[in-house]
Amino acid sequence: MNLPIGVIDSGVGGLTVAKEVARQLPKETMIYIGDTARCPYGPRTVEEVRRFTWQMVEQLLQWDIKMLVIACNTATAVTLEELQAQLDIPVVGVIRPGAIAALNETSSGEIAVIGTEGTIHSGAYPETIRAIQGEQVTVHNLACPPFVPLVEQNRTSKQDAYKIVEETLRPLQQYRYDTLILGCTHYPILKAVIQEVVGGGVSVISSGQETAREMSTILQHNGIHNQSEEAPAHIFYTSGEVLPFVEKVERWMKITTPDVRQISFLSSTMNHD
């Protein structure tokens, strides 16, 4: 089935998932919407996150997508069950795949999760981990509000980010965790700095790989994987400025001259050919 996969995120962080999807599912076409104008979602109310997510979803449904990927942990925590219940296409979030990857990795049974305020306050990761593994695993949660702005502002080098990352993660030093879940799809862009701060003895998990693996299984199981030999033509939409988004797609996804367009949720004028 040669229909596109829809990917939504609060901003550019979901590109870390899109990159892994492009690597594991090279025949699949993606339409990506990054709501950069209203990013971050983490501090927003549940009602705002739900409304913004549905606006992106309703737009993607007009383009006849065959699968929806919520490449945002905050939006996954708030809307995944609702979207799965209401849509007649497969809907994949990033929390369960990240939890599975961490459970496969940990040997001590002590896992730390970092994310936005919205994701952490939702309790989605501890609930998901307990649902899979019972009570055998200890989960430590920490909200990291400074991290998304660092990524959105391109301040991801060690020189720019190390001190902020070190200070933000300091509360985790009291725990003996061996696995750290990056519970926000922006965070893998800071992974090298985060790994240096937590040390080599901690496995740092991002959900992109496991999410793409789950997508592949669902596509095959439902017989909706793309069998065309044509190269996919991904389209990226941003509700913010186009040029900075183009630069991030080029750098992170290694796509030259990507097709990036602006989208507005304040009016019905949305450019899609």
Residues designated as active site: 72, 184
Alpha carbon of 186 to those of 23, 81, 271: distances in Å?
A: 18, 22, 26
Spatial contact of 4 and 29, defined as CB atoms under 8 Å apart: yes
Helix (H, G, I), strand (E, B) or coil at 154: coil
Amino acid identity for residue 49 in this structure: V
With beta carbons less than 8 A apart as the criterion, state whether 137 and 111 touch: yes
C-alpha to C-alpha distance for 26 and 255, rounded to whole angstroms: 13
C-alpha distance across the termini of the chain, in Å: 20
Distance CA 2, CA 257 (A): 23
Cβ 143 vs Cβ 40: under 8 Å: no
Query: What is the rounded CA–CA span in Å between residue 125 and residue 99?
Result: 7
| DSSP assignments along 208-239, one per residue | HHHHHHHHHHHHHHTT------SPP--EEEES
Phi, psi of 107 (to 5 degrees): -110, -20
